[in-house]
Amino acid sequence: MPAPMPIDPQDVVNAKYEPRKTRPGVTTKRTICASCDIACSVVTEVEKGRVVRVRSSDNPIFRDNICMKGIIAPKGFANPNRILHPMKRVGERGSGEWEQVTWEEAFADIGARLKAIIAEHGPEAWAVSTSQWNTATDHGLGRRIMNHIGSPNWTSGVALCAGNTAAINRFTYGWFPIGDFQNTKCIVLMGHNPRRHSWTPMYTWIKQAQARGAKLIVTAPRRSSSAERADIWLPLKVGSDAAMMFGWLKVIIDEELYDKDFVANWTIGFEELKKRVDEYPLGRVAKLTGCDPDMIAKAARMYATEGPAIIPWTPITDMQRNSTSGIRLQSILRSICGYIDVPGGEHLQGFNPDVINESTIEMHHVLSDEQKAKQLGSDKHPAFTYRGQERFRGPTKKVWGQEYANLVMGCHMTPPSSLFRAMAGEGPYPVKAFFFLGNNPMMSYANMKLIIKAMMNQDLVVAHEQFMTPSAQLADYILPADSWLERPWLMDSFGWMSTVRTSEKSMEPQGECRSTFEFWKSLAGALARPEIVPWETLEKFYDYRLQKLGMGWEEFGATTDVHFGPPEFRKYLKTGFATPSGKVELWSSALEEMGFDPLPYFREDPPIDPNYPLKLFTGVREDGFFQTGHRHIEEMRKRHPEPLMFVSPGTAEKYKLEEGEWVEVENELAKISIKVAIKDAMPDDLIRIPHGWWKPEMKQGAGHLSGALKYADAQLCRDDEDYLDLEQGIPHLKGVPCRVNKVAQSQDDETARTQVEFAK
């Protein structure tokens, strides 16, 4: 914030913000866009009861935080193929035969069938895949019902995207920090590439920080747009992020660039860490990462000396076999350089004290220890399960005021692969009922073939969805979901940050679409446990959550864009850290107690199979899409008409690949069809596969799944032990061996058919 400028009093009197001109008959609402997961504050314009436009917020602190996915939302949700009524499967599963039913009829049957499954197999036979991130008005109510009923088997896409980062960060300092972009002097992007139309606020913060003179370091195999404007770009080998961080630590420790006072007073395990780091001299790190050792050292020095610095969350370390070590190494770098909980560094914010948080709503204390112990995967891969997070209950109560802190929903999850194996009949006990909300599970986790088998093996599959996704096509019931235009939202940053924001309801839900709140309330009633969700409406539930503020939702929502928590720093000076030792645990006592290496390490790739000489990475989002969504929107599909495989000119030449040619990418699990796009920015022998491709216009039902069986990257994602992180059990998506097969060029017809379908 610059120094106050001289102000003419008359200017101040007239300083009220002038709302932008709107057309006659148009009203505006302050909302939060949920077209992706970054939650931009925006304004909707409403005419004749419909949202007709989404534009950026009038609030200067949210200036221009909007992208193409936000502005297209009014048309996206008006799509004629949107599911507007509850549907019950009447043919074989996946036959595509449905009949319309009422919500009441649906939940009467769902409740009866779920109770029968629980009576036969136990409550742990019921599993849920969702997240508050996608559904917004879940607010932890799903977990609350599961905890009361007795099932620990909840999983989510956040298991390999941010939720697991939050859980693993707790092992080092007890919370998940957020970078202070406004005051930082150095930003490290590990593979993440925020852009104008993808993660817009983060893109803005980075550009603003650079304009103030902050340094930018990018580690990424391909020359991304972030890499192009970085002060240092380290083009590391895919999946070698942890090795790179060992190299940085080697330089920082050897050259004594760390914060000696902080290390001496607030960490444990520094000497053990030093010995581990000594196993990674720069020559070895250069070999593992493929980067110049001098550049590695230069980047390490920049990070350690140009601070305070931040390493913002990145999906890259969430999705690899060294995920736990990678996330821990980020935590360790932040800690030993003295960047934890200081301005310009990484802020440990805690819960907002004024609002009842989602971790409290979830009521994890009512789930018995016996049922917690049944959580699938917690024996082999416990890091983010109840078992793995158990040691933080006491310290979290001491530091943050409550035992359970389900940061980013990621701290009490079932590892997805363990869940789907059990659902497929390959686990320690049967799982026979599967609910998914705002989630396309078949395409969102590794080993799609296994997930299909798992879904086909269920006695009850229930979806809460807006569109007929490939996963919904295998459901027994599809309940129509509302959109972010059609409901209010009290957004508490998923317990990660202390900022609370509000979103006004802009229009009535279409058809019989209902919120996730109403879904869970209906289920609690159907299970004869209405007391679990006692609030009549979402608004009354928000009144309950806001009671400490002495105002209800109506007043809070009408008067508040954003409600900040108290901006306290270095809280550890009073409370210590929320770890078993009360200090930053470079040596993790929790990991040690579970039988894992208490220090980070680097697990190298298995030997190369000559049949699969290339490596692929996936998880990449395209600007017009988010996850597997938005494929039904013509304007977005015109931008991305077909899935594109990025490949370097050298690799294209080596394998005689031509621009625009259809090929197959194959590995031990499956093969997918994709078009070649030759990119200078790509390194040799690495291909980039976009995430989540299917085509809503293609044939639905089992055996087809709207093109998912032809295009979806999840088919290539392995979940065998070599390709799972040991501590978490999440899959390695950053460097999967594969090959590219030349095929006869027959798919232009299909492209033409797609265009004809859209033209209709």
Binding region for another protein (CB under 8 A)? 1-2, 4-5, 7, 11-13, 15-17, 45, 47-50, 52-56, 59-61, 63-64, 66-68, 71, 74-75, 78-80, 82, 180, 182-183, 196-197, 200, 204, 207, 211, 342-344, 510, 559-564, 567, 569-570, 634, 758-760
| 8 Å CB contact between 244 and 329 | no
| 8 Å CB contact between 552 and 538 | no
CA distance 43 to 611: 53
Catalytic residue among 8, 11, 37, 180: 37
Rounded to the nearest whole angstrom, what is the least distance from the CB of residue 499 to another protein in the complex? Answer: 9
Alpha helix locations (H) across 290-322?
A: 293-305
Measure the CA dihedral 382/386/389/395, to 10°: -160
Q: Which is nearer to another protein, 59 or 402 (CB)?
A: 59
Q: Which is nearer to another protein, 517 or 556 (CB)?
A: 556
Amino acid identity for residue 227 in this structure? A
Rounded to the nearest whole angstrom, what is the least distance from the CB of residue 125 to another protein in the complex? Answer: 39
Q: Which is nearer to another protein, 22 or 589 (CB)?
A: 22
Q: Which two tokens stand for residue 120?
A: 């036969």
Q: How far is CA 16 from CA 59, 475, 501, 548, in A?
A: 11, 52, 21, 30
Residue 332 has φ and ψ, to the nearest 5°, of -70, -40
**CB-side neighbour CA atoms (13 Å) of 631:** 26
Rounded to the nearest whole angstrom, what is the least distance from the CB of residue 48 to another protein in the complex? Answer: 4
Name which of 444, 533, 369 is nearest 129 in CA terms: 444
Q: Which is nearer to another protein, 74 or 438 (CB)?
A: 74
Whether 369 is a known active-site residue: answer no
DSSP H/E element including 574: helix 572-575
Measure the CA dihedral 490/494/498/499, to 10°: -40
- The dihedral through the CA atoms of 696, 700, 702, 704 has a sign that is negative
DSSP H/E element including 216: strand 215-219
| 8 Å CB contact between 326 and 245 | yes
Rounded to the nearest whole angstrom, what is the least distance from the CB of residue 577 to another protein in the complex? Answer: 17
Q: Which is nearer to another protein, 74 or 495 (CB)?
A: 74
Q: DSSP string covering 476-494, please? A: SEEEEB--TTSS-EEE-GG
Q: How far is CA 714 from CA 110, 201, 441, 446, 452, in A?
A: 29, 28, 10, 5, 11
DSSP H/E element including 421: helix 416-423
Rounded to the nearest whole angstrom, what is the least distance from the CB of residue 500 to another protein in the complex? Answer: 11
Rounded to the nearest whole angstrom, what is the least distance from the CB of residue 13 to another protein in the complex? Answer: 8
DSSP H/E element including 573: helix 572-575
Q: Which is nearer to another protein, 336 or 678 (CB)?
A: 336
Rounded to the nearest whole angstrom, what is the least distance from the CB of residue 624 to another protein in the complex? Answer: 11
Rounded to the nearest whole angstrom, what is the least distance from the CB of residue 362 to another protein in the complex? Answer: 28
Residues 6+ apart with CB under 8 A from 149: 118, 123, 126, 527, 529
- Catalytic site residues? 37
